[in-house]
Amino acid sequence: MFFDMMQLSHPDLFIYSPRLQNQRIMSIFVPMEVRAKKALGQHFLTDQSIAKNIVGALEGRQALEVGPGMGVLTQYLLPRPELALKVVEIDGESVVYLRKHYPKLGDNLIEGDFLKMDLDGIFEGEYSVIGNFPYNISSQIFFKILEHRDRIPEVVCMIQKEVAERIAEKPGTKTYGILSVFLQAWYDIEYLFTVGSGAFNPPPKVQSAVIRLTRNSRTSLGCDEKLFRTVVKTAFGQRRKTLRNSLKPLLRQAQQPIQPLLRQVQQPVTESIDSISDAVSPVTEPVEVTSHSQTSPSLQADPIFDLRPERLSVEDFVALTLKLQR
């Protein structure tokens, strides 16, 4: 019955060549366009001039595109002869579309979850990351990139405007936060341009922005990195308080056993991003707080603890971490 109905609507399906017949059958099931899925945070860019500008900002010779969707960036990346390109897409419908419309991708089209991928096996050597990141997981993508910062010297991406401003912000404002410190510790941030909601289908309720991250020359923070991350997350977890109050678990006299203190330091902390749902992962890393972390009179009197976290630069947080290590 199914094939009878197909034959009525597509009488030329049943032809002699099995190969051509299969091609025609498959073409029926290849979507003309992909349906945007709210669960995946999909808003497809439709403005071609913006797509060209995003691709034009990429300088690397090897690139991984995250979430190509219907290939609005892919179409401008593929023709670049100097660029070795791979794309990763989690949406099965988009994968079918890309295989049909961009057969040149071949095995360089990876169906999978970027957040669960082994990024060390993508390319030999360094490579860039490019993409229109889903708003709801952009922070997770950045944390994943930070884990592989020595392999990823460049990121060009479009994200929610408020998040882009937060990442690029300098110390001293309410916008400055956890992502600002973590990413600026290892990358130089450029806010390239703003993108209105009318450039997408469906249009999001917020504006977007394109930023570029370029790996800086820092090879080490010069302090305990686990403690550094905990200090930053804990401080911004109570950003309205001074560091003296927000960092009490790290400042108190080490008169109690180590394990209770560790449990206090490991309490989940997330940074409020106002109306942004792009939450930052909680503090769950154990930090070794030893007797060397006892609060000395000089440390108690240090004026840095009278400041709020948004006043501190990356270098200030490194210096603060070193004070707590001693």
Tokens of 113: 């979850």
Helices and strands, number each (H, E), in the chain: 14, 9
pLDDT, averaged across the chain: 81
Environment class of residue 235 by beta-carbon count within 10 Å: exposed (0-12), middle (13-18) or buried (19+)?
A: buried
- Spacing of C-alpha 324 from chain mean position: 30
For 308-325, what is each residue's pLDDT tens digit? Answer: 999 999 999 999 999 888
Is 235 or 286 the better-scoring residue by pLDDT? 235
Domain residue spans of the chain: 38-215, 225-325
Is 136 or 85 the better-scoring residue by pLDDT? 85
pLDDT of residue 211: 98
Q: How far apart are CA 48 and CA 74, in angstroms?
A: 12
pLDDT of residue 301: 78
Q: Which of 175-189, 261-275, 285-299 has the lowest mean pLDDT?
A: 261-275
Angle formed at CA 186 by CA 222 and CA 167, multiple of 5 degrees: 130
Tokens of 25: 């059958």
Tokens of 27: 């073409």
For 28-63, what is each residue's pLDDT tens digit? Answer: 344 458 676 665 666 789 999 999 999 999 999 999
**What phi and psi, each to the nearest 5 degrees, are found at residue 187?**
-135, 150
The helix/strand/coil state of 54 is helix
Q: Which fold has domain 38-215?
A: Rossmann fold (3.40.50)
For 189-247, what is each residue's pLDDT tens digit? Answer: 999 999 999 999 888 899 999 999 999 999 999 999 999 999 999 999 999 999 999 99
